[in-house]
Every structure is written in C-alpha cells, then in structure tokens.
A = this chain, B = another copy of it.
Amino acid sequence: MKVAVFGAGNQDLYVRHLNLPEKFGGEPPFGGSRMAMEFAEAGHDVILAEPNKNILEDEHWKIVEDTGVKVTDNDVEAASNAEIAILFTPFGKKTFEIAKNIISHLPDGGIISNTCTVSPVVLYYVLERELRRERQDIGIASLHPAAVPGTPYHGHYVIGGRATSGLELASEEQIQKCVELAESCGKTAYVVPADVSSTVADMGSLVTAITLSGVLDYYYVGTQIIKAPIEMVEKQILMTLQTVASLVESSGVDGMLKAINPELLVKSATSMHLLKEQEILDAALNMLSNLDDDVMKWIEKGEIKHTDLVAAQALTKELKNLMGGTAAEGTIRRCMRKMFE
C-alpha cells in the first residue's frame, strides 16, 4: 500500500517534556515518524512529509530512513501517490491548511486520515466543498493511534466508521483499507462511529473513562440496589452529564465547579455509597474532599454564566420539526463544529 504520513512528531514534547521513555517505555522517534517506520517495516511504500528538519535529531532521521521510509519536506510530493494520507499534523488551522493543500493531489479513491489533532467530522466540513464537487472519490477515515506511537501502549488504531448522525465520511472499502493497514503492522483495528472517535481516542479519553466508570457504578446501584426503573436511572445520567457539559461550555471548568460546589457534592454522593466495594466513588470522594487552597480559590473566582440546561437531542429534534430537515442541518452542523473544533 502507498502511504504518506504528514508530520514526524514533536520529540521535544514526548521526550523532554513528558519523559515517555521512562514513564511508558519505548524509544524515540515517537509519533508520526514511528508510524511511518512501522508501516514501512510491514512492507508498505511509505513517505514522510516534514518541513521542519529540527523536529528530529539526525540520528533519529537515520533510523527512520533505514526502515525504508522516504522523507520529504514537500506535502504535495508526499500526497501525489498516497492511497492513505495520514495527518499527524498540529492542532487547529495548520492541519486544515495541509488538508486543503493536498486534497487535489491525491490519487483516485484516496483516503485522508486524521489522528488526534482534528476530529474527522470537522475535517469533513472543512473539505466539504471539494468532497462534494471535484473529489467525491476521496474518503475521510481516522487512523487515530489513541496512544503515542513508539510506546508499548500503542497496540491499536481507532478508525472512524459511519457516524451516529448517519453521515458517511468514507466508503466501506476505504474504511476496510485502513483496517488492513493497521492490522498489517500487528495493531488491533477498532472501527467506531466517526463522530465518537475523538471522545474515545483523544486526550479527553481520560475524562471519558472515568465518567463511564461512574455511569456503570451508578447504573448498577440505581437499578440493582435501589431498584429504580432503568428509565429513571438513565434520565439521571443524562441530566448530570448534560448539566456538567453545558456548564463547562458556558462558564468554563471553574464556573462549572462553582455552580456545583464540590464540598456539597461530596456530602450528597457519600449517601450513594451503598455497596461495600465502590472503589471509584471512594477515590473520587477522596479527591474532591482534599482540594488544595489554590484550587478552592480558583473555584471561588469562577463565574457562573447564563446557561440553558436542555437535553441536546430533544433540541435537535425540535429544531428539525420547526425548520425542516434541510434548514436545520446547517444549524446543527455549526453547533457540531463548535463542539469538535
């Protein structure tokens, strides 16, 4: 397979800053350059585009090239033969620019794959004009390492499938091609809805994991111990998570914490300790009971801004009924971008 990787990876962050070799194991180069190496070692024809030579040390460039990876500083050159073009590029606008720059150069049926720096949904909207007109053949499918490539934790890729909204960003064959590429270098391929991939694979997966453990703990206590109806338990989960999300959206984390009041929350949630073993709740209560003075002052200074606490899916449905599907689509899309961008 002909593969292009854009962006070698910020070794300064991985090695000096995060000290990954000691914390997680593995050796530099980490990131995009390591992905390129692994693809080459699996027998693919790989080119790595990186305009900044200084991002890797010379000895690391040598390691990369020794695996057979071709290195270039020219994005268009890298794109011109790429069946799969993988963007291991910076957060935000830079990635949009590169994507817009390369799309017309990709071969027929090419795939643009995002990693952790952009949501596939946003990438789709950024490229929508091209994707709907000149390049209907191109697909967007995440090839998200969901870990730092080069560390032992990177044993998998997250590949974006059909979105929960029904949006199809890539054809079934294009998604399958990404699965094959991942598996060819011994990684597990997980296909998840494209619009859910960031939640399960980005930095914020830390929040997702802890939140899910809370949802499961409460679901068990609520339905099995308190024996409340499932519908009521699910409503409580929706209410709490939607409220926290919307308060963060309107007022930031400090404003949200001010509205919710951790001291009070500890007292309320203690009464939900109804099993002998609720390890996660114990840990959470322990943390929330021992916030240091700086954090308490930061919360105190938080500002609770205007918030309309609504169930988001109920609102998108109302909007479609009010405006009709097509007119509502534009509005929904803008609010989708606000969330993922």
Q: Residues on A close to B: CB < 8 A? A: 13, 17-18, 23-24, 91, 121, 146-148, 151, 153-156, 158, 164-166, 190, 192-193, 195-196, 198-219, 221-222, 225-228, 230, 232-250, 252-253, 256-257, 259-272, 274, 279-288, 291, 295, 304-316, 318-319, 322-323, 331-332, 334-336, 338-341
B265 to A205, Cβ gap below 8 A? Answer: yes
Closest residue of B by beta carbon distance from A227: B17
Q: Tell me the complex Cα distance, A257–B199, Å.
A: 12
Known: A221-B206, A239-B198, A253-B219. A192 touches B261 (CB 8 A): yes
Q: Quickly give the copy total for this chain.
A: 2
Q: List 8 A-B contacts (CB under 8 A).
A: A18-B226, A154-B271, A204-B237, A211-B214, A214-B214, A249-B313, A280-B284, A318-B331
Is B207 in contact with A214, judged by CB distance below 8 angstroms? yes
A304 touches B164 (CB 8 A): yes
Q: Is the CB of B204 within 8 A of A239?
A: yes
Name which of A24, A240, A306 has the most chain B CB atoms within 10 A of its CB.
A240
* Chain B residues within an 8 Å CB radius of A260: 192, 196, 199-200, 208, 212
Which chain B residues border A236 with CB–CB below 8 Å? Answer: 202-204, 207
Q: Which B residues are CB-close (under 8 A) to A272?
A: 203, 205-206
